Amino acid sequence: MFHVTDIAIHIAVVTLLYLVLLKLKVSSKLSFALSAFFAVHPALSQAVSWIPGRNDSLLALFVLASLLTLDNIFLHLIFFALAIFTKESALFLPAVYSFWMFWVRKEKFPGRFMILVLSWVSVVFIWFCLRSIALGDDPVKYSLGSSILAVTGNLSAVFLYFGKMFLPFNLSVLPTLVDSKLYLGIISLVLFVIASVVWRPKNMMIYLFGICLFIIFLLPGFIRPNNFYAPDFLEHRLYLPIIGIIISLSQVVRLDRKLFWVTLIVGLGTLNIFHSQVFSNKLRFWQNAVIHSPSHPLAHKNLGAMYYFDQKYNEAEKEYLLALKISPTEAMVNNNLGLIYLMRGDKIKAEEYFKKELVLYPNYDNAHANLAMVYYQNGDKEKAEEEWLATVEINPDHKETLKNLAIYYSQVKKDPVRAKYYYSEAVKRGVVF
């Protein structure tokens, strides 16, 4: 049902885009061609085929719906609220609405505009209060200065996204600037500027509105609070910004070469079919990540996990070691290597890697539990007990450890009181003995 609803959302967005273009007085045929371009574009596959990407398709749905309902304040505010609660970048929407009303539609209704402003402020205030209740002490701290630095530091990603819009031949599930071919974006941007100069926009305000929409919803994605990894620029974040470029293109391109449009849409659709296969299973997904982002440790770590689950332990070991080579402090990798060595019967190496994990991440419960198993198998039951107790202190819901402690105190330590305690705690959490 998640995939069915993702497709339904995408169809709805395509329909709304068509209606927005008609409202901008773009011809029905050109509106259809541009909407078809959007519908089959392979760079948007991540927003439709990958379930976590739906935040951007939902945002686009509510943004377009809120634009089309500006004449109905009640409906407009519902869609505006839904947009904000979908993604925080929707806070910039009042600027988009103002541009639409005064420079695109050239309205002169200051009274109605003031009512809208008060309504927007009210919705944002409610959103802010509920957000504060939900998050409490916000774990992600942004300052204006750090946000500006992040955006300016990642500005070259504009070339990355432009390349994916017009020359989508380097698509990736986990793109980074380091591993991406930015020249495709530079070529695309140059061609876009040349086309805009040569063919001149029919309506400059609509053209600029599209550019404004592109910038407003693309740049917030450049702000990254987590500096542990090199920033990624996932393709689903292009879903709404590309609509801005399509609106600008509607004022530049012509429909006099129908064969070109048919060839373009069929070509993009074919690329989409092939690229969407990347999302068909977890192994293909992370294989694509490693192929296109070989310097990203997360890609190697997660591909290693997929090989491990498929019992391809040699391949898993190779990917884990590559992840550590790139980032020696990568979380969980040492622990996962320890599991491979423990499975092979190499307890010395397994113990070494579990301890390495705990040096880096002393509160990682699974590493404590796995080290306990090594100690227990080596006959050092006192150390095993220490590690099991450390595990449940960190994570009282660690089912396997609760079960092990219940058995240990019952059969080894002959301590019925503690055995009963851990038995009842395990049973509470659904453990079957």
User: Cα-Cα-Cα-Cα dihedral of 242, 247, 253, 254, to 10°?
Assistant: 130
- pLDDT, position 109: 72
- pLDDT, position 433: 86
- Using an 8 Å Cβ cutoff, are 305 and 336 in contact? yes
Helices 157-166 and 241-249: crossing angle in degrees, nearest 10, is: 60
- pLDDT, position 192: 96
- pLDDT, position 141: 67
CA dist 390 and 196 (Å) reads: 64
Three-state SS letters, 191-213: HHHHHHHHHCCCCHHHHHHHHHH
- Using an 8 Å Cβ cutoff, are 272 and 45 in contact? yes
CA dist 69 and 83 (Å) reads: 13
pTM: 0.91
CA distances (Å), 427 to each of 45, 405, 406, 413, in order? Answer: 44, 13, 10, 20
Alpha-carbon Rg for the chain, nearest whole angstrom, is 27
**Amino acid identity, position 214:** F
pLDDT tens, the chain, 433 aa long: 999 999 999 999 999 999 999 999 999 999 999 999 999 999 999 999 999 999 999 999 999 999 999 999 999 999 999 999 999 999 999 999 999 999 998 888 777 899 999 999 999 999 999 998 888 766 566 677 878 888 998 999 999 999 999 999 889 999 999 999 899 999 999 999 999 999 999 999 999 999 999 999 999 999 876 666 678 999 999 999 999 999 999 999 988 888 999 999 999 999 999 999 999 999 999 999 999 999 999 999 999 999 999 999 999 999 999 999 999 999 999 999 999 999 999 999 999 999 999 999 999 999 999 999 999 999 999 999 999 999 999 999 999 999 999 999 999 999 999 999 999 999 999 998 8
Domains of the chain are 2-279 (no CATH), 282-428 (1.25.40.10)
CA dist 50 and 280 (Å) reads: 9
